[in-house]
């Protein structure tokens, strides 16, 4: 390269950097990756076999990272387990792990790869970030040796952590996060002793990071937003969809709206495991998302976001979730209440028997009010208004308060609550509210075919979830998913204390 060319390049980079500094928006990318899995085995493979498998996955990720950078993305998130998959024991994952240092060491693995011993995965991720001038977010495994001087040191002499790493556009390690809320069966990993609230500053806002199951709990997810005031959450996940309330696109977009923060959610893709659904979510709704149960392909998403969503006039206001519901009398006294099960939780339901009306259903401390008008009352479809106030106990324990307008799979009321993906009834209007005992409520709206409804609904300051101009597609559910974190069981590590 001639010196003049180098100079020109430097000027171009400086201008680009200045532009980013001055800019109040940025381009975000997430990549849903169909992970190439290792052969299932109890026996650990050799380190070179482990690296060969990880390189295959990183070859695919590199293509997505280059493409995202070419399209102007400043940051890209790749999924949890995206580099080695998930079928492991504690021993068999060991050859895939690297010692990941605390980012305070100020390390660019791409230019100084062996400073902390062998780290080929961190080196390659760092180079991908550096070569393409883009922040790269990935999920890998960390190993930390320990010995008997530490009473909680595992018997095999090491901690193993499910870990997110972030490399900045120079390839420097700027964040390392150890997953705090491990999912059932993640026995290959240890819990970190304390929840880590990991943040970092960029020219396009303050970022926080956590992983998958973490999103259902207070620490560190809510702490990052409420206390540390991050603008954007990076969210690598390997999310198995559960209708009607915990499908990835639905719940993750609702969390962004309820917490009034951007969320970059990158899911792994494996349809037989019900893993699909990634998105770039702003507080007012999804900027882009994908949900694909038809093919086994990866998918790159790119969209623009506000760097500081709290300062943006487009962002929704702070909500007092029970104001409206506490201010009105019961809409109806129901002789026709019945119960039904959703994800093993016992809901109280009442059916929407008229084309329009006002209904109330209560359970324990929670009363849910619904005003609605259907475009057409069909004989072959039934919707219910449901309430649940209690501890959810399947696949994790967490305390919920839920108000839901939900389509039943059939006109047989005993089926209400079972998963349903398709519907035919559009609503001219719905307005849902509840007497929530929490300020953490996540508003979900899902249309037929498992589609989001960005821009078609809003939450008023008084806590009503309302359609704006009716639903453009048939409705599966409109739900207020509330979390009462203070009624949760203690974290597994704290039970023994
Ligand atoms: C980064 O660029 C260098 C020099 O052009 C090249 O040798 C290396 O393979 C690249 N690495 C990645 C991960 O893109
Ligand atoms: C999806 O995951 C399952 C279970 O781990 C695995 O058996 C299957 O091969 C995966 N599918 C693809 C397309 O990789
Ligand atoms: C529902 O309530 C609204 C406002 O309180 C009222 O205008 C409307 O007539 C009611 N609808 C029915 C069908 O009772
Ligand atoms: C209604 O659904 C329940 C639960 O799926 C089933 O056990 C029952 O047989 C159904 N009743 C009729 C009349 O189809």
Task: Name residues contacting ligand 3 (CB within 6 A).
Answer: 356-358, 371
Active-site residue numbers? Answer: 80, 179, 212
Give distance in angstroms: CA of 411 to centre of ligand 4: 10
Three-class secondary structure of residue 162 per DSSP: strand
d(CA 264, CA 233): 6
| Rg of the chain taking only CA atoms, in angstroms | 24
Token pair listed for 155: 């018997």
Q: Establish whether residue 415 lines the binding site of ligand 4, counting it when its CB lies within 6 angstroms of any ligand atom.
A: yes
Tens of pLDDT, residues 50-109 = 999 999 999 999 999 999 999 999 999 999 999 999 989 999 999 999 999 999 999 999
Q: Establish whether residue 273 lines the binding site of ligand 2, counting it when its CB lies within 6 angstroms of any ligand atom.
A: yes
Burial of residue 176 (number of CB atoms within 10 Å: 0-12, 13-18, 19+): buried
Backbone φ, ψ for residue 366 (5° rounding): -110, 125
d(CA 69, CA 302): 10
Token pair listed for 97: 């792990």
Token pair listed for 477: 């559910």
Question: Which residues have C-beta within 8 Å of that of residue 174, sequence separation ≥ 6?
Answer: 103, 135, 166, 167, 168, 200
Token pair listed for 307: 């760097």
Q: Is residue 176 a contact partner of residue 197, using CB atoms and an 8 Å limit?
A: no
Q: Establish whether residue 378 lines the binding site of ligand 2, counting it when its CB lies within 6 angstroms of any ligand atom.
A: no
| pLDDT the model gives residue 178 | 98
Backbone φ, ψ for residue 209 (5° rounding): -145, 140
All structural domains of the chain: 24-311 (3.60.110.10), 323-492 (no CATH)
Which residue, 241, 180, 163, is CA-closest to 215? 180
Task: Please state the atom number of ligand 3 nearest to the C-alpha of residue 357.
Answer: 13
Q: In 260-374, where does DSSP find H-type helix?
A: 323-327
* Closest residue to atom 4 of ligand 1, CA basis: 131
Three-class secondary structure of residue 31 per DSSP: strand
Q: Is residue 165 a contact partner of residue 138, using CB atoms and an 8 Å limit?
A: yes
Q: Is residue 219 a contact partner of residue 195, using CB atoms and an 8 Å limit?
A: yes
Range 370-400 burial, b when 16+ CB lie within 10 A, else e? bbbbbeeeeeebbbbbbbbbbebeebeebbb
Burial of residue 407 (number of CB atoms within 10 Å: 0-12, 13-18, 19+): buried
Q: In 44-160, where does DSSP find H-type helix?
A: 47-70, 120-132
Pairing of strands 338-342, 232-237: unpaired
Residue count of the chain, please give it. 497
d(CA 118, CA 438): 48
Handedness of CA 174, 180, 184, 188 (dihedral sign): positive
Q: Establish whether residue 297 lines the binding site of ligand 2, counting it when its CB lies within 6 angstroms of any ligand atom.
A: no
Give distance in angstroms: CA of 471 to centre of ligand 3: 19
pTM (predicted TM-score):
0.94
Tens of pLDDT, residues 373-404 = 999 999 999 999 999 999 999 999 999 999 99
Give distance in angstroms: CA of 110 to centre of ligand 2: 32
Task: Please state the atom number of ligand 4 nearest to the C-alpha of residue 412.
Answer: 1
Three-class secondary structure of residue 424 per DSSP: coil
Give distance in angstroms: CA of 156 to centre of ligand 2: 30
* Closest residue to atom 14 of ligand 4, CA basis: 412
d(CA 88, CA 73): 33
Identify which ligand lies nearest to the alpha carbon of 167. 1
d(CA 75, CA 129): 9
Residue 358: CB atoms within 10 Å: 14
Q: What does each C-alpha distance from 313 to 283, 284, 309, 310, 317 come to in angstroms? A: 11, 10, 8, 8, 9
Q: Establish whether residue 410 lines the binding site of ligand 4, counting it when its CB lies within 6 angstroms of any ligand atom.
A: no
* Closest residue to atom 12 of ligand 2, CA basis: 270
pLDDT less than 50: residues of the chain:
1-2, 18-22, 496-497
DSSP E strand stretches across 67-214: 75-77, 135-145, 158-167, 173-178, 199-202, 205-209
Backbone φ, ψ for residue 397 (5° rounding): -115, 125
Task: Please state the atom number of ligand 3 nearest to the C-alpha of residue 371.
Answer: 1
* Closest residue to atom 13 of ligand 3, CA basis: 357
d(CA 244, CA 235): 21
* Closest residue to atom 8 of ligand 1, CA basis: 127
Q: Is residue 399 a contact partner of residue 389, using CB atoms and an 8 Å limit?
A: no
């Amino acid at each position: 390269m001639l010196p003049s060319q180098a100079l020109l390049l430097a000027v171009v980079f400086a201008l680009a950097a200045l532009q980013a500094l001055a800019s109040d928006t940025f381009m975000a990318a997430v990549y849903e990756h169909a992970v190439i899995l290792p052969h299932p085995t109890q026996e650990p493979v050799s380190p070179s076999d482990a690296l060969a498998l990880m390189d295959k996955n990183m070859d695919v990720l590199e293509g997505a990272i280059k493409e995202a950078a070419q399209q102007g993305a400043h940051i890209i998130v790749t999924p949890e387990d995206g580099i080695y998959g998930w079928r492991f024991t504690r021993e068999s994952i060991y050859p895939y792990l690297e010692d990941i240092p605390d980012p305070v060491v100020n390390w660019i693995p791409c230019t100084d790869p062996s400073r902390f011993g062998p780290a080929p995965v961190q080196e390659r991720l760092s180079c991908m970030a550096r070569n393409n001038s883009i922040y790269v977010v990935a999920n890998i495994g960390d190993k930390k040796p320990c010995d008997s001087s530490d009473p909680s040191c595992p018997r095999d002499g090491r901690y193993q952590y499910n870990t997110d790493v972030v490399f900045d556009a120079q390839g420097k390690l700027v964040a390392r996060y150890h997953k705090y809320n491990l999912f059932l069966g993640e026995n290959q990993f240890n819990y970190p002793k304390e929840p880590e609230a990991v943040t970092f500053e960029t020219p396009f806002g303050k970022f926080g990071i956590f992983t998958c199951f973490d999103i259902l709990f207070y620490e560190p997810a809510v702490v990052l937003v409420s206390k540390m005031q991050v603008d954007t959450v990076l969210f690598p996940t390997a999310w198995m969809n559960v209708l009607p309330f915990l499908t990835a696109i639905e719940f993750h977009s609702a969390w962004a709206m309820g917490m009034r923060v951007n969320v970059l959610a990158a899911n792994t893709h494996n349809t037989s495991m019900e893993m699909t659904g990634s998105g770039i979510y702003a507080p007012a709704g999804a900027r882009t998302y994908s949900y694909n149960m038809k093919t086994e392909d990866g998918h790159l998403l790119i969209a623009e976001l506000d760097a500081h969503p709290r300062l943006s006039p487009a962002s929704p206001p702070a909500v007092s979730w029970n104001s409206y519901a506490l201010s009105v009398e019961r809409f109806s006294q129901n002789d026709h209440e019945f119960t039904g099960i959703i994800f093993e939780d016992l809901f109280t339901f009442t059916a929407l028997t008229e084309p329009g009306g006002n209904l109330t259903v209560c359970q324990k401390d929670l009363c849910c009010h619904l005003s609605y008008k259907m475009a057409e009352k069909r004989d072959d479809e039934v919707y219910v208004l449901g309430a649940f106030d209690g501890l959810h106990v399947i696949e994790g324990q967490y305390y919920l308060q839920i108000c839901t307008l939900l389509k039943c799979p059939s006109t047989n009321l005993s089926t209400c609550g079972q998963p349903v993906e398709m519907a035919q009834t559009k609503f001219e209007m719905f307005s849902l509210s509840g007497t929530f005992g929490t300020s953490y409520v996540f508003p979900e709206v899902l249309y037929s075919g498992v589609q989001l409804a960005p821009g078609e609904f809003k939450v008023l300051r008084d806590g009503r979830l309302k359609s704006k101009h009716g639903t453009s597609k048939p409705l599966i559910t409109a739900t207020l998913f509330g979390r009462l974190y203070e009624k949760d069981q203690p974290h597994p590590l704290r039970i023994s204390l």
